[in-house]
Amino acid sequence: MPTAYFSHPACRRHDMGGGHPECPQRLDAIEDWLLASSIDLALERHEAEPARLADLELAHTHRYVAELSELLQGLAASGESRAVDPDTVAGPHTWAAALRAAGAAVQATDLVIDGKADNAFCAVRPPGHHATRDQSMGFCFFNNVAVAARHALDVRGLKRVAIVDFDVHHGNGTEDIIAGDERVLMVSIFQDPLYPYSGAVPKGENMVNLPIPAYTRGGEVREMIEAQWMPALEAFRPEMIFISAGFDAHREDDLGQLGLVEADYEWITQRVMSVAERHAKGRIVSCLEGGYALGALARSVGVHLRTLAGI
Ligand SMILES: [Zn+2]
């Protein structure tokens, strides 16, 4: 069965202003590389549908969803933009993009659970892993992965799911949402100290947080993952695995100072797939988070997808 690839033109139209690293060109770079490398031929493309408010409320408070939807729909109507935190700008196209980004994750989850795809990747913006239950921050509005994980549990009836986060930044939003939810195991790596300056002390027993000093290379990161993530994932036996796939721990990415390269992303993807194959019928839904060096981002998504697709 194919690897599903979810995106939507609305995700490209969300624009936080000239010079912002979380830019529409990130998706262009990925698309160009998939076409040039022929990886595109192994993927089954899907246009994401908008998330339903009920799904967003599986991970966010009713009040947050109501207030953010009012703000973003207002900006869509007026054509104005507004900063919601020093790094994060909502504009006229943010509402549509945020709904499609979360919708992609939910739809991909349904497709994989229904056995219509082996696994899926969501090439979406805005990213999600810094969005907490009730706060937008760090380029994120809705927590796409947390919404999808809760959908798998609360709507589709799975009993245990794992979230794997290899973005260079700590997934504080995901941790805020799922800390203490014993149905979810979250394993992550992140550079420490680095924005958002959290994660060194996990908020719940269902977290395996690996803070990593700047300038660590891939070999050491792999050893830590093998020693800390893998036994926890094996013991947890997840029925499905979600990946917060940020590629800003790449050596070429200026938003962090870690030293991962394409081969490391291939290795991480393989290790996650091995757990999924043993316990989860191979079920993986991976969602784009960070990754700001356009060439490195495109090549890294390429090896991630090639590995997921088994080509
Ligand atoms: Zn990041």
Cα 47 from Cα 195, distance rounded (Å): 32
Q: pLDDT averaged over the chain?
A: 98
Phi/psi for 241 (5° steps) reads: -125, 130
Cα 311 from Cα 306, distance rounded (Å): 5
Tell how far the Cα of 279 is from the centroid of ligand 1, in angstroms: 28
Handedness of CA 178, 180, 182, 187 (dihedral sign): positive
Cα 113 from Cα 85, distance rounded (Å): 36
Q: What is the DSSP code string of 133-160?
A: TTB-BTTBSS-HHHHHHHIIIIIT--S-
Tell how far the Cα of 169 is from the centroid of ligand 1, in angstroms: 4
**Could you tell me which of 94, 87, 127, 125 has the C-alpha nearest to residue 289?**
127
Residue 151's CB: how many other CB atoms inside 10 A? 27
Q: Is 285 exposed, middle or buried (0-12, 13-18, 19+ CB in 10 A)?
A: buried
pLDDT, tens digit, for every residue of 76-131?
Answer: 999 999 999 999 999 999 999 999 999 999 999 999 999 999 999 999 999 999 99
Of these residues, 14, 46, 60, 130, which one is catalytic?
A: 130
pLDDT, tens digit, for every residue of 91-101?
Answer: 999 999 999 99
Q: Which residues surround ligand 1, an ion (CB under 5 A)?
A: 167, 169, 246, 248, 290
Cα 1 from Cα 44, distance rounded (Å): 9
Q: Are 30 and 301 in contact (CB under 8 A)?
A: yes
pLDDT, tens digit, for every residue of 172-226?
Answer: 999 999 999 999 999 999 999 999 999 999 999 999 999 999 999 999 999 999 9
Question: Average pLDDT of 36-40?
Answer: 97
